[in-house]
Amino acid sequence: ASVLDEFYWLNKEDPNYSLCRATVSRGKDAHTDGKFNLSQKGAMEIMKLFMTRDEDLYDKTIEDVFDEEVFNSTFWLYWRTMFAFENWHSALEMKLYFQRFIHHIAGLPDFSALKFTKYNQYESLILPMQKYLEAAGVDFQFGTEVTNVIFEKEDGKKIAKAIECKVKGVEKGIMLTENDLVFVTNGSCTEGTIYGDQNHAPNGDAEVRTSGCWSLWRNIAVQDPAFGHPEKFCSDVAKTNWESATVTTLDDRILPYITDICKRDPKSGRVVTGGIVSCKDSSWLLSWTINRQGQFREQDKDKVCVWVYGLFTDVPGDFVKKPMRECTGKEITEEWLYHIGVPVEDIPELAEHSAVCVPTMMPYITAFFMPRRKGDRPDVIPDGCVNFAFLGQFAETPRDTVFTTEYSVRTAMEAVYGLLGVDRGVPEVWGSVYDIRELLDSSVKLMDGKSPLEIQLPGPLNALKKPLLHFIKGTVVEKVLRDHDVLKEGML
For 303-359, give the DSSP string.
Answer: --EEEEEES--SSB-SSS-SBGGG--HHHHHHHHHHHTT--GGGHHHHHHHSEEEEE
Classify strands 28-29 and 22-24 as parallel, antiparallel or unpaired: antiparallel
Res 305: pLDDT: 98
Residue where a domain stops, chosen among 380, 396, 412: 396
Asked if 373 and 322 sit in the same domain, the reply is no
Does 331 reside within a domain?
yes
Residue where a domain stops, chosen among 396, 416, 449: 396
Q: Is the model's pLDDT at 207 over the cut of 60?
A: no
Asked if 339 and 250 sit in the same domain, the reply is yes
Res 10: pLDDT: 96
Asked if 349 and 252 sit in the same domain, the reply is yes
Q: Is the model's pLDDT at 205 over the cut of 80?
A: no
7-62 residue pLDDT tens: 999 999 999 999 999 999 999 998 778 899 999 999 999 999 999 999 999 999 99
Q: Is the model's pLDDT at 206 over the cut of 70?
A: no
Asked if 321 and 279 sit in the same domain, the reply is yes
In three-state secondary structure terms, 246 is strand
Asked if 261 and 339 sit in the same domain, the reply is yes
In the chain, how many domains are there? 3
Q: Is the model's pLDDT at 459 over the cut of 80?
A: no
Does 187 reside within a domain?
yes
Asked if 355 and 375 sit in the same domain, the reply is no
Does 413 reside within a domain?
no
What is the rounded average pLDDT of the residues 291-303?
Answer: 96
Asked if 295 and 349 sit in the same domain, the reply is yes
Does 426 reside within a domain?
no
Asked if 297 and 319 sit in the same domain, the reply is yes
How much is the pTM?
0.92
Parent domain of 464: 459-492
Q: Which amino acid makes up residue 154?
A: E
476/31: higher pLDDT:
476
Mean predicted lDDT score pLDDT of the chain: 93
Does 279 reside within a domain?
yes
Does 31 reside within a domain?
no
| Residue 266's CATH number | 3.30.9.80
Res 209: pLDDT: 60
Q: Is the model's pLDDT at 264 over the cut of 70?
A: yes
| Residue 391's CATH number | 3.50.50.60
Asked if 469 contacts 488 with a C-beta cutoff of 8 angstroms, the reply is no
Cβ partners under 8 Å of residue 285, min gap 6:
80, 81, 278, 279, 310, 311, 312
Asked if 419 contacts 389 with a C-beta cutoff of 8 angstroms, the reply is yes
Does 123 reside within a domain?
no
User: Percent of the chain scored above 70 by pLDDT?
Assistant: 97
Cβ partners under 8 Å of residue 383, min gap 6:
158, 226
85-133 residue pLDDT tens: 999 999 999 999 999 999 999 899 999 999 999 999 999 999 999 999 9
Does 273 reside within a domain?
yes
Q: Is residue 164 exposed (0-12), middle (13-18) or buried (19+ Cβ within 10 Å)?
A: middle
Asked if 295 and 317 sit in the same domain, the reply is yes
304-361 residue pLDDT tens: 999 999 999 999 999 999 999 999 999 999 999 999 999 999 999 999 999 999 999 9
Nearest to 439 by CA among 103, 42, 100: 103
Res 458: pLDDT: 67
Q: Is residue 216 exposed (0-12), middle (13-18) or buried (19+ Cβ within 10 Å)?
A: buried
Q: Which amino acid makes up residue 16?
A: N
Asked if 230 and 372 sit in the same domain, the reply is yes
Asked if 256 and 345 sit in the same domain, the reply is yes
Asked if 231 and 376 sit in the same domain, the reply is yes
* Alpha-carbon dihedral sign for residues 72, 78, 81, 82: negative
Half-sphere exposure of 248 (CA within 13 A, CB side): 15
Nearest to 243 by CA among 340, 311, 317, 329: 311
